[in-house]
Amino acid sequence: KLLYHLEKEEQMPDGMCIDAEGKLWVACIDGGRVIRIDPETGKRIQTVRLPTPRITSCCFGGKDYSEMFVTSAYDGLDETTLAKEPHAGEIFKITGLGVKGIPQNFYAA
Protein backbone atom coordinates (compact mmCIF):
# COMPACT_ATOMS: atom_id res chain seq x y z
CA LYS A 1 0.00 0.00 0.00
CA LEU A 2 1.33 3.42 -0.93
CA LEU A 3 1.61 5.53 2.23
CA TYR A 4 2.76 8.87 0.83
CA HIS A 5 3.87 10.20 -2.55
CA LEU A 6 6.87 12.52 -2.13
CA GLU A 7 6.58 15.96 -3.68
CA LYS A 8 9.24 16.94 -6.24
CA GLU A 9 11.05 19.25 -3.79
CA GLU A 10 11.18 16.51 -1.15
CA GLN A 11 13.30 14.40 -3.51
CA MET A 12 14.01 10.90 -2.16
CA PRO A 13 13.30 9.23 1.21
CA ASP A 14 16.17 7.99 3.34
CA GLY A 15 16.29 7.26 7.11
CA MET A 16 13.14 7.51 9.20
CA CYS A 17 11.70 7.11 12.69
CA ILE A 18 8.36 7.06 14.53
CA ASP A 19 7.27 9.52 17.22
CA ALA A 20 5.17 8.89 20.35
CA GLU A 21 2.00 9.79 18.41
CA GLY A 22 2.69 7.12 15.80
CA LYS A 23 3.63 9.58 13.08
CA LEU A 24 6.44 8.82 10.61
CA TRP A 25 9.42 11.18 10.23
CA VAL A 26 11.35 10.84 6.96
CA ALA A 27 14.73 12.33 6.06
CA CYS A 28 14.63 13.59 2.48
CA ILE A 29 18.03 13.15 0.90
CA ASP A 30 18.74 15.94 -1.59
CA GLY A 31 15.55 17.61 -0.32
CA GLY A 32 17.12 19.45 2.65
CA ARG A 33 14.34 18.53 5.04
CA VAL A 34 12.70 16.08 7.38
CA ILE A 35 8.97 15.58 6.95
CA ARG A 36 6.36 14.21 9.32
CA ILE A 37 3.67 12.02 7.80
CA ASP A 38 0.42 10.80 9.31
CA PRO A 39 0.28 7.11 8.31
CA GLU A 40 -3.49 7.02 8.83
CA THR A 41 -4.28 9.79 6.34
CA GLY A 42 -1.14 9.67 4.19
CA LYS A 43 -0.71 13.43 4.53
CA ARG A 44 2.41 15.42 5.35
CA ILE A 45 1.70 17.31 8.56
CA GLN A 46 5.04 18.97 9.30
CA THR A 47 8.23 19.98 7.48
CA VAL A 48 11.54 20.91 9.07
CA ARG A 49 13.98 22.49 6.63
CA LEU A 50 17.70 22.16 7.25
CA PRO A 51 20.66 24.22 5.99
CA THR A 52 22.05 21.52 3.69
CA PRO A 53 20.33 19.32 1.11
CA ARG A 54 21.73 15.82 1.74
CA ILE A 55 19.67 14.82 4.80
CA THR A 56 20.20 11.13 5.54
CA SER A 57 18.51 10.07 8.77
CA CYS A 58 16.64 11.20 11.88
CA CYS A 59 15.99 9.91 15.39
CA PHE A 60 14.69 11.17 18.71
CA GLY A 61 16.89 11.42 21.78
CA GLY A 62 17.70 13.48 24.84
CA LYS A 63 16.49 12.91 28.40
CA ASP A 64 12.82 12.78 27.44
CA TYR A 65 13.14 12.03 23.70
CA SER A 66 12.03 15.57 22.81
CA GLU A 67 15.09 16.34 20.70
CA MET A 68 15.50 15.15 17.13
CA PHE A 69 18.95 14.40 15.78
CA VAL A 70 19.41 14.59 12.02
CA THR A 71 22.40 13.45 9.99
CA SER A 72 23.57 14.75 6.65
CA ALA A 73 26.08 13.60 4.03
CA TYR A 74 28.90 15.21 2.14
CA ASP A 75 30.29 12.21 0.27
CA GLY A 76 30.04 12.46 -3.48
CA LEU A 77 30.03 16.27 -3.45
CA ASP A 78 32.78 18.03 -5.37
CA GLU A 79 34.78 20.94 -3.91
CA THR A 80 32.63 23.56 -5.64
CA THR A 81 29.43 22.10 -4.18
CA LEU A 82 31.01 21.69 -0.74
CA ALA A 83 31.99 25.37 -0.79
CA LYS A 84 28.30 26.24 -1.37
CA GLU A 85 27.11 23.72 1.26
CA PRO A 86 29.31 24.32 4.34
CA HIS A 87 26.95 22.32 6.60
CA ALA A 88 27.09 19.14 4.50
CA GLY A 89 28.12 16.19 6.67
CA GLU A 90 27.05 17.77 9.94
CA ILE A 91 24.67 16.43 12.61
CA PHE A 92 21.82 18.71 13.66
CA LYS A 93 19.77 18.84 16.87
CA ILE A 94 16.20 20.08 16.52
CA THR A 95 14.20 21.17 19.56
CA GLY A 96 10.71 22.59 20.02
CA LEU A 97 8.93 20.16 17.71
CA GLY A 98 6.06 19.70 20.16
CA VAL A 99 6.31 15.94 19.94
CA LYS A 100 8.53 13.29 21.51
CA GLY A 101 10.07 10.09 20.27
CA ILE A 102 9.82 6.70 21.89
CA PRO A 103 12.56 4.69 23.59
CA GLN A 104 14.33 2.14 21.45
CA ASN A 105 13.41 -1.53 21.73
CA PHE A 106 15.98 -3.86 23.24
CA TYR A 107 16.08 -7.50 22.24
CA ALA A 108 17.73 -10.35 24.09
CA ALA A 109 20.66 -11.86 22.25
75 labeled binding residue: no
pLDDT for the residue 51: 95
pLDDT in tens, 36-64: 999 999 999 999 999 999 999 999 999 99
* Cβ–Cβ under 8 Å, residues 15 and 58: yes
Average the pLDDT over 58-71 and give the result: 97
**Which residue is catalytic, options 14, 19, 30, 78?**
14
| 30 carries an active-site annotation | no
What global pTM score does this model have? 0.90
Average the pLDDT over 85-98 and give the result: 95
* Cβ–Cβ under 8 Å, residues 48 and 23: no
CA distances (Å), origin 97, targets 25, 49, 82, 93: 12, 12, 29, 11
d(CA 80, CA 91): 21
Average the pLDDT over 8-15 and give the result: 93
Domains and CATH numbers, the chain: 8-95 (2.40.10)
Residue 13 pLDDT level (bands cut at 50, 70, 90): very high
